[in-house]
């Protein structure tokens, strides 16, 4: 039985096409993936992300525990700030990629992938058992308590203060939601209930994510819709979420990331803080950073008109007798009008500008390795 | 609500056929384009290819998926629609008009009788 978010009936009433995703029954599109994608790039889109997991870590030992368990440096986070981070195993493989928010000095909120909540929880429990100061902090799986929405796009800043009025009561001090800077988080009172709002997202556009008690997330959705509709806000599904993140070169767990792939191989070394001291996977990750990796995640763009590349398509290089790699994400870019994707290749082929070929249904189509993001917003 | 013109014949795999003399024009139905949404790529058979009814001979791709298109009739492909290759969105905007796929010179016109008429296709896709 698939899980359903608090917004499930709303999606049905909006005529959404529903698909299985990470054990959840989720809207893949309401009208059209391209129309929803374009709305987010030009105006605004509203996503149900209630399927994502929430894990709360609090107590005086929480920061030390997380700094030993995650790759990024939690000490860089002041109260009211968030950062992207990775949860790795001892082999440096990625158990999950996540966002960690410091809600209070000793309280952290982890937003994790829906499909990985159980794996994360199990892995974290093992780390708790090994933690030297296990009485100094507490972990709670709050996934069922919370729902969440993401509101993304260039016009969001023009209406979000009307949807969630007033100043913050916790986290970053802000007189209104738009007072938050990128990666900042704060607690606001929405219709009498505290909700967490962060200026983060997964689309490459300006925008916010709102984490609210599950029973309140419908009211948050409605308020955002009322405030934003006339400015072009429309519901957007997982289809657009995927094309938007692919254009940005953002990883999706299960595609770019898995337990046998490290953040260094994935091109996420920026989120691995080697100077913070010991953490799980450090030794292998450091060796990879210094001595190199055997595979590397690259972004690519098709150079001619072709069918869209898809996950699993072989990547070819010159006269090599066998494929040199494999596509892990691929689609038609609604913004660029060409096929785009990401894949793993040996590092000698990872340089932007390298000519490669993607085998799509038995035929090789020319492509070129490009820098991330694949799509750049016109400035 | 799907548009299902009364003057066409339909395959269960959602292609339509318009017959003029011994030529059959083939495309995909409004229902099919609606299910696919956002067609971004169309691949057509080579002109001169002999196709048999039921052969997969074209491909239509949306943002998310690729689907085969089957020829509902047998014969030689005598014409293909370059406009829909250049602008695949025509499949969505005009599935029975500018969004046609290819033309076949019928080698076995009796096959047409096996295709669905509009009421039968309507029943298949479940529209009132």
Q: What is the 3-state secondary structure (H, E, C) of chain B?
A: CCCCCCCCEECCCCEEEEEECCEEEEEECHHHHHHHCCEEEEECCCCCCEECCCCEEEEEEECCCEEEEECCCCEEEEEECHHHHHCCCHHHHCCCCCCCCEEEEECCHHHHHHCECHHHHHHHHCCC
B44 contacts on A by Cβ (under 8 Å): none
Chain region(s) in chain A for CATH 3.30.1360.120? 8-52+145-246
Q: Which residue has the tokens 């008429």?
A: B117
Average of per-residue pLDDT values in chain A: 97
- Residues in A lying within 8 Å of B, measured between beta carbons: 28-29, 32-35, 239, 243, 305-308, 310, 331-332, 334, 361
Please report the ipTM that was assigned to this predicted complex. Answer: 0.87
**What fold characterizes domain A54-118?**
Alpha-Beta Plaits (3.30.70)
CATH number at residue B73: 2.40.50.100
User: Which CATH number applies to A294-370: 3.10.450.50, 3.40.50.10860, 2.60.40.10, 2.40.30.110?
Assistant: 2.40.30.110
CATH 3.30.1360.120 fits A8-52+145-246, yes or no: yes
d(CA A65, CA A59): 10
Domain containing residue B73: 9-116
Question: How many domains are contained in chain B?
Answer: 1
Phi, then psi, of A248 in degrees rounded to 5: -85, -10
* In contact, A94 and A87? CB cutoff 8 Å: yes
Instruction: Confirm whether B94 is domain-assigned.
Output: yes
DSSP string, A358-373: EEETTEEEEEEEEPSP
- Cα A166 to chain centroid, rounded: 28
How would you class A36 by CB atoms within 10 Å of its CB: exposed for 0-12, middle for 13-18, buried for 19 or more? buried
Question: Looking at residue A132, what is its pLDDT?
Answer: 78
Q: Judging by beta carbons within 10 Å of its beta carbon (0-12, 13-18, 19+), is residue A194 exposed, middle or buried?
A: middle
Q: Are B117 and B9 in contact (CB under 8 A)?
A: yes
User: Between chains, do B40 and A310 touch, taking CB under 8 Å as contact?
Assistant: no
B26 occurs within a structural domain = yes
Q: Which residues of B touch A310 (CB under 8 A)?
A: 66
- The whole-angstrom distance between B37's CA and the closest CA on chain A is 6
Element (H, E) at A219: helix A217-228
CB A192 within 8 A of CB A123: no
Cβ contact A13:A218 at 8 Å: no
Using CA atoms, how far residue A238 sits from A5, A17, B50, in Å, is: 14, 10, 41
Distance from CA of A330 to the nearest CA of B (A): 9
> ∠ CA(B88), CA(B89), CA(B95), 5° rounding?
95
Is B67 within the bounds of a domain? yes
Q: Give chain A's residues under pLDDT 50.
A: none
For the record, the structure tokens of A48 come out as 């149900």
* Within-domain flag for B19: yes
- Type and span of the H or E element at A269: none
Question: Closest to B63 (Cβ–Cβ): which among A305, A306, A331?
Answer: A331
Contact B63 A33 (CB under 8 A): yes
DSSP code of A93? Answer: -
Q: At A33, is the secondary structure helix, strand, or coil? A: helix
Say what the pTM is.
0.95
3-state DSSP helix/strand/coil percent for chain A, to nearest 5? 30, 35, 40
Are A361 and B66 an interchain contact pair (Cβ–Cβ within 8 Å)? Answer: yes
Give percent of chain B above pLDDT 90: 93
Give the DSSP H/E element, type plus range, for residue A126: helix A117-130
Selection from A169, A58, A179, A64 nearest residue A110 by Cα: A58
Please name the member of B37, B59, B61 whose beta carbon is closest to the beta carbon of A29. Answer: B37
Query: In angstroms, how far is the first alpha carbon of chain A from the final one?
Result: 46
pLDDT for residue B128: 45
CA distance B107 to chain A (A): 29
Q: Divide the 128 residues of chain B into consecutive groups of 10 and give the mean pLDDT of each group.
A: 91 97 97 93 97 96 93 98 96 97 97 96 83
* Contacting residues of A for B37, CB less than 8 Å apart: 29, 32-34
Residue B86 to residue A25: CA distance in whole angstroms: 36
């Amino acid at each position: 039985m698939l899980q359903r978010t608090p917004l499930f009936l709303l999606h049905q009433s909006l005529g959404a096409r529903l698909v299985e995703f990470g054990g959840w029954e989720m809207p893949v599109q309401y009208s059209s993936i391209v129309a929803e994608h374009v709305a987010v790039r030009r105006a605004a889109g509203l996503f149900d992300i209630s399927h994502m997991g929430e894990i709360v870590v609090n107590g005086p030992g929480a920061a030390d525990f997380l700094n030993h368990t995650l790759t990024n440096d939690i000490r860089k986070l002041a109260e009211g700030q968030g950062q992207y981070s990775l949860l790795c195993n001892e082999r440096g493989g990625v158990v999950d990629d996540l966002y960690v928010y410091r809600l209070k000095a000793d309280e952290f909120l982890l937003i994790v992938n829906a499909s990985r909540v159980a794996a994360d929880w199990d892995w974290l429990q093992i780390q708790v058992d090994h933690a030297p100061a296990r009485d100094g902090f507490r972990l709670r799986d709050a996934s069922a308590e919370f729902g969440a929405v993401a509101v993304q796009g260039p016009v969001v800043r023009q209406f979000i203060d009307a949807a969630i009025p007033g100043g913050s009561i916790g986290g970053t001090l802000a007189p209104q939601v738009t007072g938050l800077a990128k990666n900042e988080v704060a607690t606001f009172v929405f219709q009498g209930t505290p909700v967490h709002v962060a200026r983060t997202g997964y689309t490459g556009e300006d925008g916010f994510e709102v984490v609210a008690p599950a029973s309140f997330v419908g009211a948050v959705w409605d308020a955002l819709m009322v405030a934003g509709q006339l400015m072009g806000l429309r519901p957007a599904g997982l289809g657009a979420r995927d094309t938007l993140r692919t254009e940005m070169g953002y990883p999706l767990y299960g595609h770019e990331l898995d337990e046998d792939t490290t953040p260094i191989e994935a091109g996420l070394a920026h989120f691995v803080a080697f100077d913070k001291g010991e953490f799980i996977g450090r030794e292998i990750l450091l060796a990879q950073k210094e001595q190199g990796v055997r595979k590397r995640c690259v972004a690519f763009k098709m150079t001619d008109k072709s069918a869209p590349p898809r996950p699993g398509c072989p990547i070819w290089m010159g006269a090599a007798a066998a494929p040199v790699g494999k596509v892990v994400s691929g689609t038609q870019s609604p913004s660029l009008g060409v096929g785009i994707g990401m894949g793993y290749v040996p590092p000698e082929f990872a340089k932007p500008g390298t000519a490669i070929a993607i085998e799509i249904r038995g035929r090789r189509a020319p492509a070129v390795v490009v820098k991330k993001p694949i799509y750049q917003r016109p400035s | 609500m799907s548009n299902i013109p009364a003057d066409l014949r339909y395959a269960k795999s959602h292609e339509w056929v318009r017959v003029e003399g011994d030529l059959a024009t083939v495309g995909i139905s409004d229902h099919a384009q609606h299910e696919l949404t956002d067609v971004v790529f169309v691949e057509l058979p080579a002109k001169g290819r002999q196709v048999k009814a039921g052969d997969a001979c074209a491909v239509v791709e949306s943002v998310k998926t690729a689907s085969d298109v089957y020829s509902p009739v047998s014969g030689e492909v005598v014409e293909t629609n370059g406009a829909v290759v250049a602008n695949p969105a025509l499949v969505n905007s005009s599935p029975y008009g500018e969004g046609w796929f290819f033309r076949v010179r019928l080698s076995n016109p009796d096959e047409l009788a096996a295709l669905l008429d509009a009421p039968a296709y309507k029943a298949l896709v479940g529209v009132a």
